[in-house]
Amino acid sequence: MKFLANLTRMLIPAPCFLCGANTTGESGLCASCLLGWVPVARAPRCPQCATGVAMVGLLCAECAQAPPAFDCTHTGQDFNAATRHLVHQLKFARQPWVLPALLLPLVDQIERAYPAPRVDWPQALIPMPIHPQRRQARGFNQARLIADQLGRRFDLPVLGQAAVRVKASAPQSGLDAAARRKNLRDAFAVRQSLPAHVAIIDDVMTTGSSAAVLARVLKQAGVRRVTVWVLARTPRPD
């Protein structure tokens, strides 16, 4: 029933993904939830890891002290109650139709960050790999779904097999950044030659540990610049 409701969403009102009010909105969000979903004014973020900072162009303390192996991050928005709900729907409730709504803020941020002619534009997208066992359990890799959409939107190739997860690491939640990096050691391998500038695509950047470890492996394989594009960024607790 839910599937049908979503198929016919454009013709017949269906519940808004966030508040349940009836809507025919193409994104699946009602007008009031859509308001502010794509921020009109963007708060300044660290150019390297996209955490909130006091001033435009300012690196956060962590990136200034111990820069991660990736060079630049863009996020659609903060990971908050609404994005958490939709990401959960996407990953665990198998509701891929929430993806267009989740992508709106990121696509907007990419358009803002790279005005034409696009400078510092990546040459290919690399979805954050998940271990084959997890992929099998979930049925898909959400990062691949996101990368495919962005690839189509921005006419960029998606290298879905270029980087693979070779070690099933323990779940990252509950670990601090150092423990996360240790947990991820030897987790990734590169399986094909890569262009000089790639963008890692993921749903949520929490501490940035996974992206940092993958970026290091990509650079060891010859990549010179690594950008990260994520739907949402977990705010630092301070």
Give contact residues for Zn ion (rule: CB under 5 A): 16, 18-19, 21, 30, 33, 46, 48-49, 60, 63
Structure tokens at 197: 């500038």
Residue 47 beta carbon to Zn ion: minimum distance, rounded to whole angstroms = 8
Residue 155 beta carbon to Zn ion: minimum distance, rounded to whole angstroms = 29
Q: Give the full edge-to-edge strand order of the sheet including 124-127.
A: 72-78, 225-233, 197-205, 124-127
Give whichever of 18 and 99 is closer to Zn ion, judged by the CB atom. 18
Give whichever of 58 and 164 is closer to Zn ion, judged by the CB atom. 58
2: helix, strand or coil? helix
Give whichever of 165 and 180 is closer to Zn ion, judged by the CB atom. 180
Sign of CA dihedral 42, 75, 102, 179: negative
Give whichever of 82 and 194 is closer to Zn ion, judged by the CB atom. 82
Residue whose pair of structure tokens reads 């992508």 in the numeric block: 103
Element (H, E) at 186: none
Cα(110)–Cα(155) distance, rounded to whole angstroms?
Answer: 13
Indicate left, alpha or beta for 174 from its phi (over 0: left) and psi (-120 to 50: alpha).
Answer: left
125 and 78 Cβ atoms separated by less than 8 Å: no
Residue among 169, 235, 225, 162 nearest 199 (CA): 225
Residue 66 beta carbon to Zn ion: minimum distance, rounded to whole angstroms = 10
Give whichever of 169 and 207 is closer to Zn ion, judged by the CB atom. 207
Residue 100 beta carbon to Zn ion: minimum distance, rounded to whole angstroms = 15
Residue whose pair of structure tokens reads 């540990």 in the numeric block: 209
Residue 171 beta carbon to Zn ion: minimum distance, rounded to whole angstroms = 24
Structure tokens at 101: 């709504």
Give whichever of 169 and 234 is closer to Zn ion, judged by the CB atom. 234
Indicate left, alpha or beta for 71 from its phi (over 0: left) and psi (-120 to 50: alpha).
Answer: alpha
Residue 50 beta carbon to Zn ion: minimum distance, rounded to whole angstroms = 7
